[in-house]
Every structure is written in C-alpha cells, then in structure tokens.
C-alpha cells in the first residue's frame, strides 16, 4: 500500500526533469524583449586613482548605448548602511563606480552597455583608462606583525572564548608536544554559473530582477536602499542558482550595475560576469595558522594553543570562526585561542562552504595526527580518548552528539583496523598506500522563515517560501515535508521558492535551510490542516466531529482518527463538499531560543581516507573515502548523500588543488580561469562512501534536522594530508599538496 | 610613489563593426535563421539569439564543458566555435535530446542516480555522455571517468554521474546482445 510518509525516504529531485532537460532557467537566461547587454570593465591596477577615462571613443561605436563609470553615476544613497547587505561584515561596504579610487585589482571601474553582447564585449576591451598608481600590499606573509583583533565582525561570528586553565604551563609540562604553522592560500568559490543579473524594465522605475543569489530578499533590500526604490517596485527572482557555496550570500556588483543601467537607460539590461571576473570578489581568505598541542603520558590532551591570522580588505573586517572549534572538538582544560586580521589591498573575503571550520579543522586535525604519533597512539584511538562529552567553550551540554558512532561506524566501513601504523608500511605494487582520519564539528542553526500553503479544489497543494535552490535539494525536501504533513501524494504538491513576492525566508546558507524553511513549511501546512479539519467537520455525517487537530492524522489522502483509522474523510472531497475553490493558510517558525540556549547545537563528522602515492612522480590519488556524518534527522538520504559526496570532492579539491595564486607584483590572482584554478574532474574522484549515523534530536528544531551542506567537508583535507604522511612519511602543512611538495 | 599607467593602450576602435548576415543553422532537426555577425559564437547564438538556454556558459573559454553540444554527433564546446562555421551541420542541444515528458535514457538515469545538484553543468554532462555512448571507447568505469573529464561539476556529483552513465551503457549493451 502506498503511503504519504516521505520524510526520511530517498526521493528523486522534483526539479530533476527541469534540470536535465535544460528547462530550468538561471539568472542570465530570461530573454526579455528589448534587452541591452552590459559588459564590465575591470581595473588593470590594484591601487590608485583613475585620472581619465576615454568614454567618447567607445560611445562612437555603433550599438554602444552608454558607458557608466564614476564620472556619470547619478546621485545615490550616501550612508554606508544603505550598502550593507544581510551579512555585511563591519566596515564600509564597497560601492561600485562610486569614485575614482581603485582599491583592489579587477575592481569594476566601468560597464559598457550595448545593443548586443558582442558589441558590449568588444567596446569594453577598447576602453582606455589612465591611472595614477600607488604601491599596494597583497601579501599576508609580509603582514605577520600587523595583525589586529577584529572589532564587530559579522553576523554569526563569535570572538574566540577567553583562555581557560593554564595553557602556557600545561604546554610546557606536557609529555608530548607538537607545534607548527598551517597555511592555505585564497580559494575562490567558482560556482559553475557565473554571476549574472537580468533586469526587466517594466516602466516607471518598476523592475523585475532575475539575480544570481543565495537570497532574493537580500538582493531586494540592497537594491531598494541604494537606489531609493520601494520594495513594491523591485521584485527579485531566483528560481535556480547554478551553485553558490557562499558566493551568493552577498549581492555581487553585477546586480548593482545592471539595475543602474536599467534605471538610467529605462530599458531591460543584463550584466554577466566572465570567469576571470569571478575572481574579483569574495573568497576564502588566505590564512596562516599556528597550532601547538600537548599531550600527557596517558594520551589525554594537556594543552591547545591555536592562533590564526587571516587577510581582509582595507574597507571591511571579514571574520570567520577559525580557531574556536579547537576548544570544543576535544576535551581539554588548558586552551588558548586567538584570531587576528591583517588588511590587504584585496576585495573583502567571503564565506565559502564551512567558512572558518574547513580552515580550522584542516590545521587541528593534522596537528592531532602528529600528536598521536608522538604519543604512540593510533590517531583514531587518540581522538576517542579525548572525546568531548560537553562543549567546553560554551560550558553547555550538546543537544545531541553521535561523533563516537561516526568514528566507529566509519572505521568499520573503511576497515581501519587493518591499518599498520608506521609511515611507509603499506604498499600496493609500486605505490605507497596511506590511511588517514579527520573530522569536525559545525553549527546546527535555525533562522526565522515564513511560508504559505494553498489547497485547490482539484486536490493540488501549492506551498511557497522565498528560499533558494542552490543544488541542495530545497525544492525536493520542502515538497516531501509538505506532502507528508498534508497526507498528500508527492505529485499533488508544488513548492515554489526564489521570489520576493513569496513569504520571507532567510538566506540560503549556514546549513540552516532544511531546519528553517522546513519548519516554516511545516507550520504553514499545519495551519492549513487545522482549517481543513474544521471544514471536514462541517461535512454531513463527518466521522471527525468534535475531535481536535491532535486527534487526527493526515495520511494517504485522508484525515483519519488516530484512535480508529477507519474513521476518515478523503481530503479531496472536503473543499467541493463545502463549495470552496481554495483554502489557504500562512505559517512561520522561529527557533525556540529559551530551550535551545541551554544547549550546544552541533553536527559532527569523521572521515577516513586512503591515498596512493607514486613516489617517483609525486602524484597522489585519493582512492577511497568513507565520511560518517551525524547531523540529526536526514530528510532525504538520496539528496543528502549527494551533498556529502560533494563535500568530499570539495575536501579533495582543497587538499590537492585549490589555490588562487597571487602575483604580488601585480596584486592580481594570476590563475583566474577554470584551466589554471584547478578543481577535481571526473577522473580525480574514486570511491566515496557516505554513512549517516542515526541521531535523534528534538532540541535543535521540531524536525530534528541539523543541516548537511557543510559538515561533510570538515576534516577531509586533514585526513588526506594525514594519509599522505602515513604513505610517505612527509608532513605537508601547506595546502595544496601539490606534486612539488612531495618530490 | 605614484606612477601613471594606461589600460587598453592599443585601443583604436574600428568604428565599422563586422556586418551581420543571415545564417541558417539546423538545430534539433529544425532549420533556424538568424541575423548575426561572424563573431557570434555558437554558444551565444543558442542562448542569446535562439532562446535555447539549456546550453550553459560556465567559462566561455573551453575550460569547463558546460556548453557541450553535439555537432554531427560529435561533442564539442559550443563556446569555441563560431555559429557561421556550423551552417549545414546537424546540431543537437539538450533540448533536442529529450523533454520533460519524453526523457532521454541518460536524462532519466541522471535523475534516478541524483547525478547533479545545482543543475548548471548537467546539460553539458548529458550531451557529453550521449556522445560518449556512441563513440564506443568507454568500456570500464575508469574509462568513463577519463572520457567525462572535460566536463567540470563544481557541486562534485561525479560519483553519481559515473553511475548514471554506467547504467545506460550496460542497458545498451544488453539490448545490443538481445
């Protein structure tokens, strides 16, 4: 018998047919009538001032409509706060085309608008600009002594907790000690879809904006505040986003430029960035980390010192939680965590998948491996001995924590017990084999989200919430939640998102969408269910008369009594029987702060990696990965598995490939294209196994979900580096682990 | 210390732009006429002039494979060819492989195996895989991985992409032997 219980069942993506046929439309694919094209001109210099911009010769080209630069931008909002988006860090946000000043390389300095894309591109390539150039600083290594403690930071940033215990003495007196510096360069999100905005001019300053973003509402408030428009006149639409990974958390400059051009020219305009320009805004910041760990004779952690110095721009303090995790992943009473920034002439960094935690866990989990070797313990056993039953940073119990099960189930699946501990002790023919372990911890968050639900007389349910789909499966899991709550078949339910005309949802980020929007959808469906029950009770001979919402279940297209399931009303019959065409309800959900604040809410993972190293060539192949994740309830094991598979690919990428190479002479990332900024391709990816450890948690939120978009990435890069050490005896603390570092 | 520099110093704009002409392309079995200049790539012709936006632009430099289409049965990066060069050729885009009501076996397999996340590289992956099947070179998992390595997937769906292609490959083999 078919059932309408969908939550927790592997379910194919409901947006799958649209995506595999090319019917799903992304921001640059709305070909509205009378469209003009803008092409961005990027600064050739890193720091200085534009002294002359030769727009006249460009305007003479047939088909060019206008060249916008600081010289002809109309008067816009004056205060910094008008330019601040939902996740702007402290400081003064960058204002495109605001003045002659150049603050970073590839800063947008003009946009050429023309009748066709080709003419705009051609004309932009010819725009002459004179600059007065001053010396720039882009090298974090040269700023080691210029670090400062950030002030305000941004939403979600927690300054490192105060030191606890006596970390200096404890380290000094420890039986075993390790210390070292851990480095990764800047990394760029590089979603497949390049940033683009299509603005449809609807007349009289009324705009429909198709934007690449992870938050339509964020783009809307940014545009309305800067250009002084009412929200009624700016509808932002983002039905599909071709990858985000954090890059779309802040509105990017093509949005500003497209809206500017549309308002000035009074016509529809599209601005798309190039792949090169995808390296001209936020990135995972280049970070230098110092870690010192001490262990006692019995293998217990004696001391943790973790310091990080990260780059930020001259104009904003971008902050992320890099070191905090080192005070909570393991039990340790003597801990010192510090975090500093240094200002460089670069664009402000930006949250990139598991921001801070991917960075911090890379260093901590390598250092833990080193210390395990010093203490003569298996690295997994060492972790188990230092298991943190309580969050010592917050001094709170965890709402739930199944990391121990992650270790056990992951190790069993991987076959960890067969590992021989000595480096260079395992081989496969001529290749060295290495096995490594790592893991991490990530926040389980919930934000306020609203939704609406509407049942039509034909039995079709439409549920709406202005969230986003960046590949995480939002359409699918929300459809599952709505269908199960209303007891309707999946096919009868449509979920709509990505539109500021819909009920407000938070930015798609922080792994909180399932918890937040899912709870909002559930609330709207419950509200609709209560209304529907009332109507069902009005029906002639209704078997549900006199009962309350708690007494009934919605399942298999019926409202049934829990106490006697044979007493039921068919949902499709209710509206016709009451002579109603449609029944609607709204709902919203917010975190239960009073309850949640008593606990530490986190997801965990443990990852096991096998590498094979050809020592003659220095090549490393990540041949096998098992990633065990404890993230509460898994709404859809099929799409959830894909997210963790993707996280592992990201970890392999971070460990082995990703590096935005800055030429400090120019102040420019030199490998700013897809051929030279390496990410894995199909041939780089071998066996990956995902294990979801069962974890029940009714504290995080009523759905019991913790989110899985980010946790799977934690510790992957470290586990690979640890495996490389096990294979070769070489300890690489500077990512990526490129061939040259192993030869 | 301040110094002066000029961006695009060689810029002496040719005021006369390349002329447009009528180009006829055969796309998904249908002849389409468009007025374009020689500098329009096949990719831009599809997306901007013919509203066939299923073919994606991920780099515009032949580095990512998102724009893969079939030309006379061969997979090519449509950003690396000019539309005028393809007059008379048989062009198949993702829209021509199947529709939501009538999916190509690869499209169905991609859904069944969850071989995509954001969906942006997916049309290119599927077109590439369609050519891979007819090329007949990929017989093992390792060969599929190698021969699908021209299509980048930043979401990292490779495991499932390979599983989807393997399934279709196996089904075809079985059908051929029946």
Tens digits of residue pLDDT in A582-639: 999 999 999 999 999 999 999 999 999 999 999 999 999 999 999 999 999 999 999 9
From the list A26, A31, A129, which residue is nearest B51 (CB)?
A: A31
Contact A366, A360 (CB under 8 A): no
Q: How far is A14 from chain B (nearest CA, A)?
A: 9
From the list A20, A60, A134, which residue is nearest B122 (CB)?
A: A20
Q: Given this model, what pLDDT does residue A167 score? A: 98
Q: Is the pLDDT of residue B10 over 70?
A: no
Helical pair B122-135 and B105-112, crossing angle rounded to 10 deg: 120
A-chain CB neighbours of B116 within 8 Å are 16, 19-20, 471
Domain with CATH 3.10.20.30 in chain B: 21-97
From the list A131, A192, A642, which residue is nearest B5 (CB)?
A: A131
Cβ separation of B155 and A680 shorter than 8 Å? no
Cβ separation of B17 and A685 shorter than 8 Å? no
Cβ separation of A22 and B93 shorter than 8 Å? yes
B interface mutation test: which of A11, A16, A20 has the most B CBs within 10 A?
A20
The CA-based angle B171-B174-B175, given to 5 degrees, is 85
Q: Given this model, what pLDDT does residue A2 score? A: 66
B interface mutation test: which of A101, A192, A277, A647 has the most B CBs within 10 A?
A192
What domains can be seen in chain A, in order of their start residue? Answer: 16-23+446-590 (3.30.365.10), 31-134+191-274 (3.90.1170.50), 143-187+283-445+597-742 (3.30.365.10)
DSSP string, A590-631: ---HHHHTTSB-EEEEEEEEEEEEETTTTEEEEEEEEEEEE-
CATH top-level class of B21-97: alpha beta
Q: Given this model, what pLDDT does residue B17 score? A: 87
Contact A737, A653 (CB under 8 A): no
Contact A144, A695 (CB under 8 A): no
Q: Which residue has the tokens 């997210």?
A: A643
Q: How far is A45 from chain B (nearest CA, A)?
A: 8
Name the residue in chain B with its Cα closest to that of A675. B63
> DSSP alpha helices (H): ranges in A50-157?
55-59, 117-126
Cβ separation of B7 and A645 shorter than 8 Å? no
The CA-atom distances, in angstroms, between A360 and each of A242, A337, A347, A475, A661 are 28, 11, 22, 32, 21
From the list A128, A638, A685, which residue is nearest B158 (CB)?
A: A685
Q: How far is B9 from chain A (nearest CA, A)?
A: 6
How many Å apart are CA A561 and CA A547, to the nearest integer?
A: 8
Q: Which residues pair with A184 in a beta bridge?
A: A287
Buried b (16+ CB within 10 A) or exposed e, A315-334: bbbbbbbbbbbbbbbbebeb
Tell me the HSE value of A621 on the side-chain side, using a 13 A CA sphere: 15
| 3-class DSSP assignment, residue A302 | strand
Q: Is the pLDDT of residue B178 over 70?
A: no
Q: Given this model, what pLDDT does residue B175 score? A: 79
Q: Given this model, what pLDDT does residue B14 score? A: 63
Q: Given this model, what pLDDT does residue A1 score? A: 46
CATH of domain B105-177: 1.10.150.120
Tell me the HSE value of A93 on the side-chain side, using a 13 A CA sphere: 24
Q: What pLDDT digit, counting tens, does each position of B39-52 carry?
A: 999 999 999 999 99
Largest CA distance in chain B: 79
| 3-class DSSP assignment, residue A380 | helix
Domain with CATH 1.10.150.120 in chain B: 105-177
Cβ separation of A21 and B95 shorter than 8 Å? yes
Is A659 tagged catalytic? no
Q: How many CB pairs under 8 A join A and B?
A: 250
Between strands A129-133 and A48-53, the pairing is antiparallel
Tell me the HSE value of A618 on the side-chain side, using a 13 A CA sphere: 10
Residues in chain A with pLDDT < 70? 1-2
Cβ separation of A20 and B110 shorter than 8 Å? yes
Q: Which residue has the tokens 């209303």?
A: A486
User: What do you get for the CA distance between the two ends of chain A, in Å?
Assistant: 61
Between strands A568-570 and A234-237, the pairing is unpaired
Higher pLDDT, B5 or A518: A518
| 3-class DSSP assignment, residue A232 | helix
């Amino acid at each position: 018998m078919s059932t309408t219980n969908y939550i927790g069942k592997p379910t194919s993506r409901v947006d799958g047919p649209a995506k595999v046929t090319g019917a799903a439309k992304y921001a640059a694919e709305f070909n509205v009538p009378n469209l003009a094209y803008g092409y961005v001109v990027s600064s050739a210099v890193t720091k200085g001032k534009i002294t002359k911009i030769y727009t006249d010769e460009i305007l003479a080209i047939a088909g060019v409509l206008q060249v916008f630069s600081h010289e002809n931008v109309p008067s816009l909002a004056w205060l910094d706060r008008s330019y601040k988006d939902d996740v702007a860090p402290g400081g003064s946000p960058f204002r495109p085309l605001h003045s002659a000043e150049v603050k970073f390389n590839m800063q947008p300095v003009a946009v050429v608008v023309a009748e066709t894309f080709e003419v705009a591109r051609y004309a932009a390539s010819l725009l002459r600009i004179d600059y007065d150039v001053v010396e720039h600083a882009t090298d974090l290594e040269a700023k080691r002594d210029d670090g400062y403690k950030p002030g305000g930071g941004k939403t979600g940033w927690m300054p490192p907790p105060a030191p606890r215990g006596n970390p200096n003495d404890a380290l000094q007196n420890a039986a075993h000690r390790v210390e070292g510096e851990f480095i990764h360069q800047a990394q760029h999100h590089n979603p497949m879809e390049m940033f683009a905005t299509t603005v449809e001019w609807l007349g009289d300053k009324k705009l429909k904006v198709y934007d690449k973003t992870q938050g339509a509402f964020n783009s809307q408030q940014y545009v309305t505040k800067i250009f002084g428009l009412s929200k009624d006149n700016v509808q932002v639409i983002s039905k599909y986003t071709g990858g985000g990974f954090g890059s779309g958390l802040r509105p990017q400059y093509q949005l500003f430029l497209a809206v500017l051009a549309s308002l000035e020219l009074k016509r529809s305009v599209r601005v798309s960035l190039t792949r090169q320009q995808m390296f001209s805004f936020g990135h995972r910041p280049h970070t230098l980390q110092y870690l010192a760990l001490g262990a006692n004779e019995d293998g217990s952690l004696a001391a943790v010192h973790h310091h990080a110095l990260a780059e930020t721009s001259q104009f904003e303090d971008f902050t992320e939680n890099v070191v905090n995790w080192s005070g909570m992943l393991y039990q340790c009473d003597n801990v010192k965590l510090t975090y500093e920034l240094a200002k460089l002439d670069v664009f402000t960094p930006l949250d990139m998948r598991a921001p801070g935690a991917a960075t911090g866990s890379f260093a901590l989990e390598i250092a833990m491996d080193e210390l395990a070797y010093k203490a003569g313990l298996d690295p997994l056993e060492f972790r188990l001995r230092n298991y943190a039953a309580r969050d010592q940073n917050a001094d709170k119990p965890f709402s739930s924590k199944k990391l121990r099960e992650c270790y056990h189930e992951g190790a069993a699946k991987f076959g960890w017990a067969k590992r021989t501990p000595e480096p260079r002790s395992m081989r496969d023919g001529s290749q060295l084999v290495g096995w490594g372990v790592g893991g991490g911890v990530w926040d389980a968050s919930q934000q306020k989200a609203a939704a609406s639900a509407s049942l039509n007389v034909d039995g079709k349910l439409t549920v709406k919430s202005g969230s986003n789909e960046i590949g995480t499966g939002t359409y699918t899991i929300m459809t599952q939640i709505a269908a199960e709550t209303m007891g309707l078949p999946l096919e009868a339910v449509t979920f709509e998102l990505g539109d500021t005309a819909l009920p407000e949802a938070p930015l798609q980020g922080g792994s909180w969408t399932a918890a937040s929007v899912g709870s909002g959808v559930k609330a709207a469906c419950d509200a609709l269910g209560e209304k529907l029950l009332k109507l069902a009770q009005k029906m002639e001979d209704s078997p549900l008369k006199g009962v309350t919402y708690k007494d009934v279940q919605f399942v298999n297209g019926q409202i049934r009594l829990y106490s006697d399931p044979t007493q039921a009303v068919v949902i499709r019959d209710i509206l016709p029987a009451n002579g109603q065409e449609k029944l609607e309800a709204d709902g919203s959900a917010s975190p239960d702060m009073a309850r949640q604040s008593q606990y530490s809410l986190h997801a965990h993972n443990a990852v096991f990696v096998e590498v094979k190293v050809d020592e003659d060539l220095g090549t490393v192949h990540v041949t096998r990965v098992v990633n065990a994740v404890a993230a509460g309830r898994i709404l859809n094991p099929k799409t959830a598995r894909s997210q963790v598979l993707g996280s592992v690919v990201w970890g392999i990428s971070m460990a082995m490939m990703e590096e935005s190479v800055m030429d400090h002479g120019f102040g420019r990332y030199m490998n700013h294209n897809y051929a030279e900024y390496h990410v894995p391709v199909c041939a780089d990816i071998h066996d990956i196994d995902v294990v979801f450890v069962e974890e029940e948690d009714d504290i995080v939120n009523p759905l019991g979900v913790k989110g899985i978009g980010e946790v799977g990435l934690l510790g992957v890069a470290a586990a690979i580096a640890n495996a490389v050490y096990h294979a070769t005896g070489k300890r690489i603390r500077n990512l990526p682990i490129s061939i040259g570092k192993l030869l | 210390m301040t110094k002066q520099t000029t961006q695009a110093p060689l810029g002496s704009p040719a005021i006369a732009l390349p002329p447009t002409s009528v180009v006829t392309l055969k796309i998904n079995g249908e002849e389409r006429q468009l007025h374009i200049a020689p500098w329009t790539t096949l990719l831009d012709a599809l997306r901007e002039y013919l509203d066939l936006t299923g073919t994606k632009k991920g780099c515009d430099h032949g580095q990512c494979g998102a724009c893969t289409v079939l030309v006379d049965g061969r997979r090519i990066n449509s950003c690396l060819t000019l539309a005028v060069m393809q007059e008379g050729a048989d062009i198949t885009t993702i829209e021509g492989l199947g529709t939501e009501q009538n999916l190509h076996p690869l499209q169905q397999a991609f859904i069944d195996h969850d071989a995509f996340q954001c969906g942006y590289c997916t049309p290119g992956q599927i077109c590439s895989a369609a050519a891979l099947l007819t090329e007949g070179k990929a017989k093992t998992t390792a060969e599929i991985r190698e021969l699908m390595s021209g299509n980048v997937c930043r979401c990292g769906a490779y495991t499932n992409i390979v599983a989807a292609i393997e399934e279709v490959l196996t089904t075809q083999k079985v059908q051929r032997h029946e």
